Amino acid sequence: MPKQLLQGNQAIAMAAESAGLKFFAGYPITPASEIIHEMVNKRHIRVLQMEDEIASINAIIGASLAGLKTMTATSGPGFSLMQESIGMAHMMEVPIVIVNVQRVGPSTGMPTLPAQGDVIQCIHGSHGDYFPIVFYPNSVAELYQYTIMAFNAAEESLSPVILLSDGYISHLYETITPSGDFEIKVRSRSPLGSGNRHFTGLSHEDSLPKTSDVDNYRRLITRLQEKQQSVAQRYNYYEYLECSKDTDTLLISYGGLSRAAYYFKNDFSLYRPIRMFPVVEEIRSIASRYKRILVMEMNTGQYAHEIERILHRNIENIPILGGRIDLTEMKQKIKQKMNE
């Protein structure tokens, strides 16, 4: 395909079409609205503008059960509204893709400015235990690539897969070559519509709800967790840039902010998670080489706390808040942290 100048949200829509998307339901919200704008111009995608985000997520669950690849797109407030149904889709094992273009919150916040405040909500937003696969690119080309990967992972895992973006990279324009070389997982109707399968949010075994069988519930959760981890291992994406000079510090950053973090590659080694969850196992061996680990993110430490939990060691957080990505501020905060 020829090179194209695309906005990030346009790349998401184009990639979804390439991945086989057939049904999109959503509600316009800054900074994700361009996605639904693009979708209405796609000839082979059915599009519904719903009355709200709760209706949107339930619509794509139903369409997926009917055999279509489905997607919705939103930002933080809408993502919050979707949480109960996201949990239901995990319990029912329904493949869907949810795009969350993050902005400053909580609540209405600052709608036009980027943030990374929905990271932990991706894995703990709904109640109960569930184990989502979450991707977070940092360029227009990667938005295209990992939208396709999100659809593939959803088909393989029979679960909701979340593609995180932010107001910076989704509104960024870059020249990319949309590739047709990615393998596309074909929808198999058999897991969704054959036999006597019973779709329910209740704890269940095969086609039968089991609401008071503790041993069955434990088997169910174990199976779901092992399935998600197995599929996730086929999408083991991250970027690691080892510093050319000796350094005892590893700087972790992701999404739009990580583009600015590349400035520090001559001072520190850099690690950028792309598959945010489950956290890539390689971080353990990479982190073991460094005395200090800094996590710079556009929140008050959501991923830093997760890395600390996994590594069982002290992690230093550098919060970049309020939707402003300013290299001078980043330099000052890192210098201050290094002098503590």
Query: Which sequence spans correspond to the domains of the chain?
Result: 4-232, 239-339
Bond preceding residue 273 cis, omega within 30 of 0: no
Q: How far apart are CA 309 and CA 141, in angstroms?
A: 31
**pLDDT given for residue 194 in this prediction:** 62
Cβ atoms of residues 22 and 47 within 8 Å: no
Q: How far apart are CA 201 and CA 130, in angstroms?
A: 13
Structure tokens at 177: 């070559």
- Helix, strand, or coil here: 238? strand
Q: Do domains 4-232 and 239-339 have the same CATH topology?
A: yes
**pLDDT given for residue 1 in this prediction:** 75
Structure tokens at 238: 């991250």
The CA-CA-CA angle for residues 101, 52, 135, to 5°, reads 25
HSE-CB at 237 with a 13 A cutoff on CA atoms is 19
Under CATH, which architecture does the 239-339 domain have?
3-Layer(aba) Sandwich (3.40)
- Helix, strand, or coil here: 70? strand
Sign of the four-CA dihedral 35, 36, 42, 45: positive
Whether pTM > 0.75 for this model: the answer is: yes
Cβ atoms of residues 283 and 271 within 8 Å: yes
10-residue mean pLDDT series, the chain (340 residues): 94 97 98 98 96 98 95 98 98 97 97 98 97 98 98 97 98 93 85 70 89 97 97 98 96 98 97 98 98 98 98 97 96 94
Pairing type for strands 249-252 and 70-74 reads unpaired
- Helix, strand, or coil here: 278? coil
Q: How far apart are CA 271 and CA 254, in angstroms?
A: 8
Fold for 4-232, please state it: Rossmann fold (3.40.50)
Q: How far apart are CA 155 and CA 67, in angstroms?
A: 11
> Can you tell me which residue has the tokens 């942290």?
337
